[in-house]
Amino acid sequence: MTDIAVVDYGMGNLRSVHKALEHVAPEASVTVTSEPSIVNRAERIVVPGQGAMPNCMQALNTHGLHDAVVQAARSKPFLGICIGLQMLFEESEEGHVKGLNILPGKVVHFPAKAMTMPDGQKLKVPHMGWNQVFHTHDHPLWAGIANNARFYFVHSYYVETPDTAIIAAQSHYPFAFTCAVAKDNIFAVQFHPEKSDHAGLTLLRNFSKWSPSI
């Protein structure tokens, strides 16, 4: 039995995620897999992803993992990372592609006209580097993580959702944007916990022990 399955559809930093999970949960069986049957049998699912959203959605379908990921998001502890967060929503401006439609909302590009600090400093897109994350409500995955801890980001798009109840954290660049969502058995983040030092490893450790009510 696989305790934690890291879904491999050819579009994620799988080695870093895999090694980080093995480090924080040495007692767990962590498997990187592109097999839907293994995803279906695993107790917990991690869906990383990086690159362009259209390519990620196409790769998910090409590998036959679409249904397995949707079912996992409905039935077991699920962690989405970066594109693994974005694909949970209805659609993305990037390539005008449909997402998995599990959570309400859309993925939008950082607006060029808004990328200016109050002092006139111009901000670059993609948003790349360390930034503070502010919790909007308590969650078991925030245990042991300061409310202004810094995590590592690399992205040009972010999520907008009408369901404010699912927003678990925000960051600022230069305005507040959603960087983590949580609903039932789903927790998903825009940042990369596997690249985020102690805070990121703590989040992954919390996920490895999380038992949500499903």
Active site residues: 82, 192, 194
In 100-137, which positions are buried (b, 16+ CB within 10 angstroms) versus exposed (e)? Answer: bebbebbbeebeeeebeeeeeeeeeeebeeebebebbe
DSSP H stretches of helix in 106-178: none
d(CA 79, CA 63): 19
- The type of residue at 19 is K
d(CA 210, CA 214): 12
Read off φ and ψ for residue 51, nearest 5 degrees: 110, -155
Q: Report strand pairing: 78-81 vs 127-132.
A: unpaired
**Quick count: other Cβ atoms within 10 Å of Cβ 31?**
19
d(CA 214, CA 212): 6
